[in-house]
Structures are given as C-alpha cells and as structure tokens.
C-alpha cells in the first residue's frame, strides 16, 4: 500500500512518543510496505557491473571485427576476441571483489538511528524505520526520514544541504524536520511522517547523498581520446578497404575455400583491414582503468578505508592541501581531567556544579565525558530545570538547577567567549592553553540558560584543564605529507594558542603563528589570502571552516577536508574531497567521499599514496595503448595511400599487442608508484604517445617498403620483418615508460622478449602465427630500422623531458610569487 507511506496514521497519537509503536504495529506497517525502502548507498549492483564490462563501445567494435574473421577464417586471426573475453572476465571479477569490500565496509559505516518501540529505544538501520516510528536524535545525528518533532530540548537543525540556508533552525514540538538535514545542538524526538521515496525532501536527500560525483580527469580524458579514435576509425578503415580492393584492381577476383578458411585477394584485404582496426582500438585501456580503481578500493578496504566514490581515490592523489581538526587527528579523542582551578575564593561550589553539568548532558562530548568520569555523580538535591546544549556557534553549554540554595545557572565553555577578553581569567586560560592543554571556563550565569538573553553576565568560578594526548603516529603522517608537497592546515574550534602549541609539538610548519579566526578579515579576497598563507587556525566556526575551504579553492588549491563532527559537515561538502572518521557523527560520514573506519589520521597517507599509484600507473598504460593506436593509424594511412597490401594478419597484431603492451600493462597498472599526480593527463600522455607512435609506424612502413622491393603483396618473410621492427621499437617504448627500473620490470620485459622469440624461432610458433625467419637480409633490415627508430624516440623523449621540467619550474616560480606577496602583506 505505497500510497499510505506519505501521510501519518491518524490512529497514532502524538502524545505517546514515550512508548512508540508496538511490535504488532511495526509488523503491520512492514506488511503494508510502509517502510523506509530507500536504497543503501554502496557499490554498483552485480548486473550493472556485468553490463558495464560487457556492453562497451570497444567490445562492440571488437565483436564486429570478429564476425568478419568468423566468416573468412582462420581461427588464429580471431585470437584478439579471446583477449577481450579474458579482459572482460578479469574486469568483472575485480569489480565484484571491490563490491564485496565496499558492501562490507558500508554496513560498518551505516548510521543506526534509535527508535522508540514498546517503550524502549532500540538502534535499527535506516531501512528498518516504518511509518509513525518515533526516532531519537541528538547533536551530530542526521535526520533519516521526514518527520514531525514530538519532543525537543534545545533542538537546532541545520538544513543547509537541502535549502541553502546556513543558519540553524530551532525546532519545537509540532515543527517538521526533513531527511538529509542534521542536528547541530540539543536533543529530541520526531515521528516518521514520510518514509521511503514518498517525500520530496527524502528524494532531495537521496539525490544529495548520491554525491556530487567527483570530477575525474582520467575518465573524462580517456573518454575524449576514445571518442576521437572512434570517429577516426571510419575514414581510415574506409580508405584502407578501398585501397586494398579497388586500387589493386582485385575486385571481382574469385575467392576459394581452403582448409576451413576463405583465401583470395578480398579475404586477405579484409584480414589486413581487421588487423589494422584491431590495433587502432585501445582495447585494454578502459579495462585497466576500472581494474586499477577496483584494486585500489580493495587495498584501501584492507586498511579500513571506505571509498564511497571511486574517483575520490584520484581526487585525493591530486590534493595539495589537507585541512584537519586537532582533536582526533593530532590528538587522541579521549581526554583526562587534569585540574579544576577554582577562582573567586571558593565562594561558589565549582566542583559540585561541574559534576552536575556533566551529569545533565544526555550526549556528552569527550570533554564532558572526561569531567563526568573524574568527578562522579552530583548531589541528589540538584535537579535540572533547563538545559542549553553545546553549539559550535556559541561555544558553550549550560544548565539551570534547582538547589537547596535556590535556582542556579551554570555554563561551561570557551574562556575567551564567556569571560571578558581583558580579564585575568582569560589571560590565565591563555597562559595554560599555551602548554597544549584544553582549557574550559566554568561560570555562574546571570540568566536562565534557555532564556533569550542567556547566558547574561557570567561570573567565572573555575578553569577546567583537560589533558590531550598526542597521537603517536601524527608526526609520521605530517612528515609524509611534507615530503609529498602537501600542506597540512589545522582548523580547530579550540583556542588558537592551544592549537598552536599542539601543532608545534608535532613540528608542523607555521605552527608558531596561529591565527584566531575571529580576527580574520571579512573581505572575501583578504580572507582567501589569509587562508592560503597561515597554517594553524583556532576559534573557527563551522561557517568559517567552509569559507576557508572556499578561499583555498579560489587560489587554485585542491583541498581535502577531514573531520568527524557535525561542525565539519559544511566544510566536508565544500572540499574537493571530504574525509570523515568512522567514529564521527552520522552527518559527517554521510557527506564524505572517504570514511576512515579505523579512526586514524595516519591512514590518510596510505589513501593518498594509493591514489597516486592509480593515477601514475594509468598514465603509463595510457601511453602504451595510445602509442599502439597512433602507429596503427600511421601504418594504415600510409599503406592506403601507397596502395600496397597491409603487412599484417590479425594474428600478427595479436602477437605484437600481447608481448609489447597487452600483458605488460596489466602488471604496470598494479605496480607501486609514488609519483605526484599532476593536471594535464591528456596533453602529457599525447606528448609521448603521438611522437612514439608516429616514429614506430614510420619505422614499420620503412621496413615493409624495403623488404617488399616494389611488390604489392608481401610474403611471410616480409610480414615477419615488419613484426620484428614493430616489436623491437614498441618494446623500447615500454622500457621508457616503465622507469624507474626494478628487478621485476626487467624480468617482465625479458619474459616478453622470450615469448616473442618463441613465436619467431619455434616451428609451432612459426606455423601458428605464419612467420618466416629464413631471410637473414630482411631480418637485418628490420633490426637496423628498429635501432634507428629507438634512437629517435629516445631523443624526442629527452627533449620533451627537458621541456616539461622547464614548464614545471616556471609554474612553481609563478606559484611562489603570490605566496610571497601574501606573506609580505
């Protein structure tokens, strides 16, 4: 009964939220289909994976060419189709492995809201919520279904991801809440009024949580290249067929059937055309991109990193700024109460009030939890009459108590917010905070804490000192980023002096000049300059975190934001890559592209390194496959213009492609690679592939014309000579691309040379691939031309490397000039 999913059941009273639904009522709604049947955001379905690997543009091209060979034979010339089948199966298998990894991690990462049923609060999955369920919520929780508030205590909801409105909205009983928003302060309960796909707000949230897909320069670049190749195939293929048939005057010559294959000029012309077109298609490139990403997901999953978007791996590899909070990254999440330094001569019961405040918080943060653990339970005659939950915007929490001495109002928060800036309490807190500890101020408020003027005048009663333990792996992570040219910026809501002290302890560059975010310029350009220049920021509001990320991006920086709290959500959504901690709030995990389920900032270098491995290796194999495409186009065009038979059969193309690029590319795509990712993938790839392909193609044609000696139809020895030239030249390109050299790369190239020699020198190989090495003169010509081509490719590569180095030097100099100007300003 889907129509009933979009309205609240009138039989359920809003007054019974303390009891919630009964088990029988839940079962009835499940049977009626009134459940929150939104899909779990995880990986692609099995069907989508199979379709994505089978129904591709490249596979369609290969299928058409194989159909031609299936008609004219022989079977050896159809081997290229077998390669595609194997590639596709490998791609499906790897993606299924990645899917299993993602699905397992997604279950761990999934939010488990608490619903009230039969009078007890029970955690369930979001999909298990039914219509009229009463859902509990507190700071950091994401609203999982549309509903109506039935109980609220200082409940503030941020709806900016849905409405664009940045200010939190205070919610009272009877107000509506929308799925996709999140709780920034207070606690409450709401009744599920619209579940599943029935609500407009739920559809908005589903769309938003599907992620604004991270831009992938790799995928878009490869798609542009493939589009060009697809369009180029038609004129080149048409020209080649025309030249092979018409220009030789062989149309109408009768074909014959011999040993299960059609022989004759037309059949040979078709085989040559298929061989040329098969070589033009970079059949393994798209596959290897998918495999590289899938293996990256698996490797990161083993380190408890959930990649919620595959292109996020690529995005992190391009990051040059990481913005992170102090707590949970540089320091441990847990804290210890070190000291309660009372002020005012002990006139106020500071420790009693502090214990009462800690006990009054239904969802204590780490600071309050440490206080509660150290001080224990408050006196029984202190009862709460009003509460003000902690908010990142106001930076304090409080409670009003009924005590034997009368009503008292107490607040706990940032000393520089609650105390006069010029007062002794603020100065003392600054001095203590400079040692790297967290300092809070306990004060007696002049107003009831839930009043409109709260807290009113605050009389300081005590400074609360909390120890923060540095993470043992924090410095290693920061050292890694420094070595990789990635700048780390600490963006914290704590006191700037305290944050700077912690940053100095881990030797973060720029830690000696922490900036108080309240003193940052308000002008957009000046704010962006300061965001780019400084390293440590304290007293940052959630909106300022977002603005800092925006400012850095406006300066051309690629920004990763890490966070675990609800105050990080806006910045996580704004960053190029959002990284959340697994123990963080459901809201922060919901908007992040990567979740560190192990809650270790030190895992982030591994994510960046994996991204760089993926990008660097894909660029390598793209160089190889596009070199093959270029030399094939070059050979087909020249042969067409000269009106001679194409030098290869498809079986020759299969052999060349396998030993030079096809097999090695699988190993190179998964190899270690620490090279820093740089923009300009397409331009940089074509700078090597186009010259190398043109030279290799010209070398093959040169050998062909020299051994052909005026004839228009080659014999097996002629074809073999061209195979040797092309294999030698392209194996040299493989060596250039495979740098830096390690032992396994040497073994890989040696193995490919061994496979080639096996095909050339053994009777079985010669018969299967139609090769003939009985003409030493032609072999000598092939090797001589190949040597000249290798020397020319090397020279082009050296010149291009110098040009690239010069361009990078200019770019780095240009980047240093604005930074220096900002520093002077």
Active-site positions read: 325
Single out the residue of 181, 178, 180 nearest to residue 167, CA to CA.
Answer: 181
Single out the residue of 230, 234, 216, 232 nearest to residue 58, CA to CA.
Answer: 230
Instruction: Report in angstroms the alpha-carbon separations of 280 from 441, 629, 654.
Output: 71, 4, 12
Q: What are the structure tokens assigned to 147, written together?
A: 């509903």
Classify the C-alpha dihedral 96-100-103-106 as positive or negative.
negative
Single out the residue of 481, 468, 461, 466 nearest to residue 412, CA to CA.
Answer: 461
DSSP 130: B
Element (H, E) at 450: none
Element (H, E) at 562: strand 559-563
CA–CA distance, 608 with 303 (Å, rounded to integer): 13
**At which residue do the structure tokens 């709030």 appear?**
585
Single out the residue of 643, 789, 770 nearest to residue 705, CA to CA.
Answer: 643
Instruction: Report in angstroms the alpha-carbon separations of 306 from 102, 262, 478, 624, 717.
Output: 7, 55, 22, 31, 55
Q: What are the structure tokens assigned to 765, written together?
A: 């190989």
CA–CA distance, 756 with 783 (Å, rounded to integer): 14
CA–CA distance, 541 with 166 (Å, rounded to integer): 12
Pairing status of strand 176-177 against strand 321-324 = unpaired
Asked whether 463 and 343 are in contact (CB, 8 A), the reply is yes
Q: What are the structure tokens assigned to 451, written together?
A: 């009043």
Asked whether 309 and 580 are in contact (CB, 8 A), the reply is no
As to burial, measured by CB atoms within 10 angstroms (0-12 exposed, 13-18 middle, 19+ buried), residue 321 is: buried
Q: What are the structure tokens assigned to 25, written together?
A: 């009522």
DSSP 35: B
**At which residue do the structure tokens 């080639």 appear?**
756
Q: What are the structure tokens assigned to 8, written together?
A: 């609240």
List strands edge to edge, sheet with 487-491.
305-307, 594-596, 577-581, 559-563, 321-324, 487-491, 536-538, 515-516
SS3 738: coil
CA–CA distance, 335 with 326 (Å, rounded to integer): 13
Q: What are the structure tokens assigned to 506, written together?
A: 């881990």
CA–CA distance, 295 with 291 (Å, rounded to integer): 6
As to burial, measured by CB atoms within 10 angstroms (0-12 exposed, 13-18 middle, 19+ buried), residue 822 is: middle
As to burial, measured by CB atoms within 10 angstroms (0-12 exposed, 13-18 middle, 19+ buried), residue 252 is: exposed
As to burial, measured by CB atoms within 10 angstroms (0-12 exposed, 13-18 middle, 19+ buried), residue 678 is: middle
Asked whether 353 and 405 are in contact (CB, 8 A), the reply is no
Q: What are the residues whose beta carbons fall under 8 Å from the beta carbon of 648, sequence distance 6 or more?
A: 272, 275, 276, 279, 656, 719, 722, 723
């Amino acid at each position: 009964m889907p129509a009933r999913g979009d309205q609240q059941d009138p039989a359920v009273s809003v007054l019974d939220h303390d009891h919630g639904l009964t088990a029988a009522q839940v079962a009835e709604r499940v049977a009626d289909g009134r459940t929150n049947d939104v899909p779990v955001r995880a990986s692609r379905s099995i069907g989508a994976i199979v379709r994505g690997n089978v129904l591709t543009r490249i596979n369609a091209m290969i299928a058409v060419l194989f159909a031609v060979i299936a008609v004219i034979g022989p079977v050896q010339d159809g081997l290229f189709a077998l390669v595609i089948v194997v590639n596709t199966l490998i791609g499906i298998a790897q993606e299924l492995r990645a899917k299993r990894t993602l699905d397992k991690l997604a279950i761990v990462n999934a939010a488990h809201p608490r619903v009230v049923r039969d009078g007890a609060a029970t955690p369930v999955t979001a999909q298990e919520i039914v219509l009229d369920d009463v859902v509990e919520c507190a700071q950091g929780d994401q609203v999982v279904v549309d509903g109506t508030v039935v109980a609220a205590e200082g409940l503030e909801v941020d709806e900016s991801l849905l409405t664009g409105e940045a200010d939190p909205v205070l919610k009272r009983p009877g107000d509506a809440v929308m799925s996709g928003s999140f709780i920034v302060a207070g606690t409450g309960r709401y009744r599920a009024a619209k579940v599943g796909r029935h609500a407009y707000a739920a559809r908005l949230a589903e769309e938003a949580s599907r992620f604004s897909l991270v831009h992938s320069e790799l995928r878009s670049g490869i798609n542009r290249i493939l589009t060009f190749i697809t369009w180029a195939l038609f004129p080149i293929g048409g020209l080649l067929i025309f030249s092979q048939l018409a220009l030789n005057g062989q149309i109408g010559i009768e074909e014959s059937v011999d040993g299960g294959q059609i022989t004759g000029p037309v059949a040979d012309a078709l085989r040559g055309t298929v061989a040329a077109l098969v070589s033009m298609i970079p059949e393994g490139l798209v596959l290897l991109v998918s495999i590289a990403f899938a293996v990256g997901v698996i490797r990161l999953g083993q380190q408890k990193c959930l990649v919620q978007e595959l292109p996020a791996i690529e995005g992190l590899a391009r990051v040059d700024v990481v913005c992170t909070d102090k707590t949970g990254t540089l320091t441990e999440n847990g804290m210890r109460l070190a000291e309660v330094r009372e002020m005012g001569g002990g006139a106020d019961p500071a420790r009693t009030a502090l214990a009462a405040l800690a006990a009054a918080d239904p969802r204590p943060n780490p600071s309050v939890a440490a206080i509660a653990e150290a001080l224990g339970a408050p006196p029984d005659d202190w009862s709460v009459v009003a509460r003000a939950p902690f908010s990142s915007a106001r930076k304090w929490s409080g409670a009003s108590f009924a005590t034997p001495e009368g009503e008292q109002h107490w607040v706990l928060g940032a000393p520089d917010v609650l105390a006069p800036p010029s007062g002794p309490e603020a100065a003392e807190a600054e001095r203590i905070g400079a040692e790297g500890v967290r300092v809070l101020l306990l004060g007696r408020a002049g107003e009831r804490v839930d009043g409109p003027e709260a807290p009113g005048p605050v009389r300081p009663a005590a400074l609360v000192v909390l120890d923060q333990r540095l993470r043992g792996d924090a410095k290693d992570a920061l050292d890694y980023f420094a070595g990789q040219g990635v700048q780390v910026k600490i963006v914290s809501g704590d006191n700037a002096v305290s944050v700077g002290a912690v940053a100095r302890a881990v030797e973060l560059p720029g830690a000696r000049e922490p900036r108080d975010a309240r003193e940052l310029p308000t002008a957009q350009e000046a704010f962006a300059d300061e965001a780019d220049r400084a390293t440590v920021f304290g007293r940052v509001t959630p909106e300022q975190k977002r603005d800092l990320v925006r400012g850095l991006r406006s300066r051309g920086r690629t920004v990763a934001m890490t966070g675990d709290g609800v105050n990080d959500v806006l910045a996580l959504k704004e960053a190029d890559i959002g990284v959340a901690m697994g123990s963080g709030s459901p809201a922060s995990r919901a908007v992040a592209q990567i979740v560190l389920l192990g809650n270790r900032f030190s895992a982030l270098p591994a994510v960046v390194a994996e991204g760089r491995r993926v990008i660097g290796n894909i660029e390598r194999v793209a160089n190889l496959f596009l070199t093959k495409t270029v030399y094939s186009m070059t050979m087909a065009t020249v042969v067409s213009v000269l009106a001679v038979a194409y030098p290869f059969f498809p079986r020759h193309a299969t052999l060349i492609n396998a030993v030079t690029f096809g097999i090695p590319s699988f190993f190179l795509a998964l190899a270690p690679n620490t090279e820093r990712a740089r923009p300009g993938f397409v331009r940089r790839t074509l700078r090597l592939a186009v010259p190398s392909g043109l030279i290799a193609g010209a070398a093959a044609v040169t050998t062909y014309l020299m051994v052909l000696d005026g004839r228009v139809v080659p014999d097996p020895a002629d074809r073999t000579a061209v195979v040797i030239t092309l294999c030698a030249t392209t194996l040299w390109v493989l060596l250039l691309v495979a740098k830096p050299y390690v032992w396994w790369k040497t073994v890989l190239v040696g193995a490919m040379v061994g496979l080639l020699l096996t095909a050339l020198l053994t009777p079985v190989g010669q018969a299967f691939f139609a090769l003939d090495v009985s003409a030493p003169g032609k072999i000598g010509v092939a090797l001589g031309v190949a040597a000249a081509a290798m020397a020319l490719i090397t020279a082009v590569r050296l010149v291009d490397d110098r040009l690239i180095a010069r361009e990078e030097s200019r770019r780095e100099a240009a980047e240093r000039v604005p930074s220096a100007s900002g520093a002077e300003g």
